Chains A and B, each alone.
Chain A
């Protein structure tokens, strides 16, 4: 058994956020802190320490007011790897369908002893709204088209693993930027770490004045490909769109899909990311998705480590605020 002291410093941590609501609200240093913490968890797991006792006695609520498979599973597994108990909530068949409000539902779950809330909701700002009215830390697992901070972090972590320091690197975000919370979190995460970001897609899927976020806008994937170190292919958010934003899936794939032909124009060591679920044959062909440049499954693995890091840091901050310092005798299991 490995002593907790060997891996984690005692005393206050530089993390001072009570909630994780978005990468917009974090500094580059704070983003790096989470990434470093995640890398540490990943290393421990690789060494066989897959379960840690850091959140023992804590109950993590997975409140998913919107459907999710991988994020919910990833958070649930991350909590279990830290030895937390978990409570899952989904709106179907819940008191929400009887007219109970979002806030009252969350408060009731908190009153049952849940002390850390992982929340997904279709409305931008819903987690901020909740965080202002709850005692427990709130971790945003996606709020509508606003932010998805842990997805942004895992994307950045994956790029950092492949490219090293991201300062000066160029990353293309391709696809449905308008409806993508992942795009917004990626933009904040990458630009705060010094990377250049190009957003690329049809004009109908690029929201107005996005250049003010410090990104370049392009409507030509062919022009962008040779210039970038990483390409993050975002899913077309059919469920968030109203009306037609492009003439057909075939035309989208023709103009903006990543395929073998386009890949030939890319740099030799280009990194291809795609925050799932991917639409094979639309944003990305199977040849590319399963090819040597693809890091799609690395993203999934890193998601676990990032979520462990986020849960751990928020929990420790909560303990500090409550003046209950973490117990150094907690050991790795």
Chain B
């Protein structure tokens, strides 16, 4: 395996509270943190003015294989992940059939190995078929490689099932990733309930649908001791509930998407489906609360909630097209523009939410640049300027609200397991 020297980069490693200009050497796929000045390497990457971070982790991606390969495959999704700077992604079980047994989890890992892009961590289903009625074979899913459990966008509405699920996964010290929404309150809904849903005549999804379910989930996590991870929270009151629960010691974590930090319900005035997401884009006050949640650590992680769909599924009427946008290839520039350029988060804080925090929630040995760890490394170019062009995406999905936006910052190199697997710039050998 070729040795790689990364020179003169700004090394940011939140796991070790490290932020300094330094060099890293990769030998036999592992990191040496202090290589010295006169070291020789097969490949030299000049990272001057670049940011060297632990390989980014996106813990909430839908890959669609098996079942909907026209939307995405594990190969195309992991290629998109690499281009987006991710060395590890966790994929949701919302495939056809759903990933609710050991063989299904092993299939994902096998296909990811074949693709040789980035690591893929399966998230197994909580319930059979993701129907929210009977627990899936969680223990066997764990043996098949699953590191967390979720019914993806299906809310586990039955409180008894959710309680048992938290107890059962708590026994294995694994989290449940939950999409917290009261189904009855969002039935047929297409957007956030407020002035703009009234204006546009679109069926609404009230914020209360989220906050009521967050409240229930926190209560169940509290009595069971299970680890609840709330996916893609969007509401001011939701953030406040999580903050208070954590102060009481409840095992609850949460993530947010970059697009929910950017866009508001009013953007749907165009009726464009690139603004149709679930949960929906909300208000400026909600966005402000999400940012405060990121700042004080109430929200641990930023995820893409990558939801790819084939062209024919997105070129239709608003109610006919599925919810969701792709996000793997826009997450980094979106975060840089929304959070770093505006000084809302420091680089150390942002990188923590993309590396060590998701690694801890998933329980994987990743997300750090510590000595002798597996060399999963991302090099970012904060000065890179780009206009988001979905036609250039490696994902099969093309629908993004960031289309045609000028965003600063991008991915320069990605190293997975000591192998250079993505490069936006030319290399020098030494």
Contact = CB atoms under 8 A, between A and B. Distances in A.
B151 interface: no
B24 to A, nearest CB: 49
Contacts of B195: 208-210, 212
A172 to B, nearest CB: 18
Nearest to A146: B201
Interface string B182-194: 0000011000011
Interface in A136-151: 143-147
Nearest to B184: A243
A184 B194 CA distance: 15
Contact of B317 (A123, A181, A213): A123
Given A103-B315, A123-B319, A126-B318, A242 B187 contact: yes
B320 to A, nearest CB: 7
A76 to B, nearest CB: 24
B247 to A, nearest CB: 32
B318 A125 contact: yes
A101 B201 contact: no
Interface in A270-295: none
A124 interface: yes
A128 B194 contact: no
B165 to A, nearest CB: 29
A328 interface: no
B312 interface: yes
A209 B197 CA distance: 9
Contacts of B202: 124-125, 144-146
B344 interface: no
Interface string B276-320: 000000000000000000000000000000000000100111111
B315 A101 contact: yes
A103 B201 CA distance: 21
Contacts of A207: 197-198, 204
A144 B187 contact: no
A324 interface: no
Interface in B173-230: 187-188, 193-195, 197-204
A102 interface: yes
Contacts of A213: 198-199
A210 B317 contact: no
Interface in A164-202: 181, 184
Interface in A83-138: 101-103, 121-126, 128-129
Interface string B315-344: 111111000000000000000000000000
A123 B320 contact: yes
A102 B317 contact: yes
Contacts of A184: 199, 201
Q: Which of B200, B202, B317, B318 has the most CB of A within 10 A?
A: B317
A129 B197 contact: no
A87 to B, nearest CB: 21
B201 A129 contact: no
Contacts of A143: 201
A146 B203 CA distance: 10
Nearest to B198: A207
A143 B271 CA distance: 12
Nearest to A206: B198
A101 B195 CA distance: 31
12 contacts: A123-B320, A125-B317, A129-B317, A145-B201, A184-B199, A207-B204, A208-B193, A208-B197, A208-B204, A209-B194, A212-B198, A242-B188
Interface of B: 187-188, 193-195, 197-204, 270-271, 312, 315-320
Given A102-B317, A145-B203, A212-B195, 4 more contacts: A123-B317, A145-B201, A146-B200, A181-B201
